[in-house]
Amino acid sequence: MKGSDYYVYVYIDPRDFKPFYYGKGQGSRKDAHLFDHIAGGKSALISTIRKEGLEPIVRVLARNLTEEQAFIVESTLIWQFRDSLTNRISGTFIDKFRPQKSLHKEIVGFDYNHRLWYFNVGDGPHRRWEDNRKFNYVGAGQKDVFRDAIGGLNPGDVIAAYLSGKGYVGVGKVLGCAKPAKEFRLQDGTLLIDKPGVAPNIRDNIDDLDNCEWMAAIRWKATVPRDQAHFRKKAGLFAARNVRATLSHPETIRFIEDKFGIRDLFGLTDLPF
C-alpha cells in the first residue's frame, strides 16, 4: 500500500507499566521524545523516571500503516486512555468519537439515530386517543412485547400516530424515553394516572413492569379528533398492526404530509425539541 510506512507507538512508565503517551510517526520518530527538553507533562515525567535510574519503555503497537490509518489508531488510543496520558492534543479524528465518560448513557448519532416511526396508539380501557391529545403522550403496555415497542422510541424521534380502524390522527416528536405508568409525570409534575377522566384501566398491573402501561411524552406537531382521522381505503397506505414500525413508505409519507400540512416529515427529526 502506497505510503504505508507509518506506525503508532506508546511510552510506558516502567514503574507501574502504565502508558503515558501515544504517538504516530515514521523512521526514528518514536525515540525523539527521549531527547526533548520542552517543558510539559511528557518531558517532566520522563525526567522523573530517569531520576529513578530507569528509562521509559517505548513500543510500536501498529505498523505498516498509511498516515490516515495511523491517525485513526492514535486517536482511538488517546480517546480510551485520555485521563492518564500526557498528550497535549486529543488526536486528529477525535471529533468523530463520542464524548469521554459517556458510556453510561445513549447518545444520538452514536447509539441511535432519530427515526420516523409509525405508531399505533391503540384504543380501549387502558388508553385513549383523547387522553393522548390532551396530555401530550402515547402509551402501550399490558404485555412485554408492547412495552418493548414503546421502549424503542428515543428522544428526537418523530411518530405518525395511527388509530386502528380510523386512520392517521397525529404527528409529533418524542420528548423523552418511555416510563412506567406509576412514574410518568406531566409537565405540571402530576402523575398522569391521577388525572380524572383518563382511561379507566390505566392503573392495571401498575407494579408489574412487564405488564403495566408505559408512556412516552410527545410534542404534537398536528393532531385531529378520531372522527377526522386521515385515511384512504384501497390506496395502499401503510397501516400495520404492530405498535411501532419504521415508516418509510413514500406514498404514505406524502399522504401524511399533505393531510397534516407538513412540508418534510423526515426533516422533523432534525429540528430541535
Domains identified in the chain and CATH numbers: 6-96 (3.40.1440), 116-270 (3.10.590)
The model's pTM is 0.66
C-alpha cell at 108: 444520538
Low-confidence ranges of the chain (pLDDT < 50): none
pLDDT reported for residue 92: 76
pLDDT reported for residue 273: 60
pLDDT reported for residue 102: 80
The 10s digit of each residue's pLDDT in 186-203 is 999 999 999 999 999 999
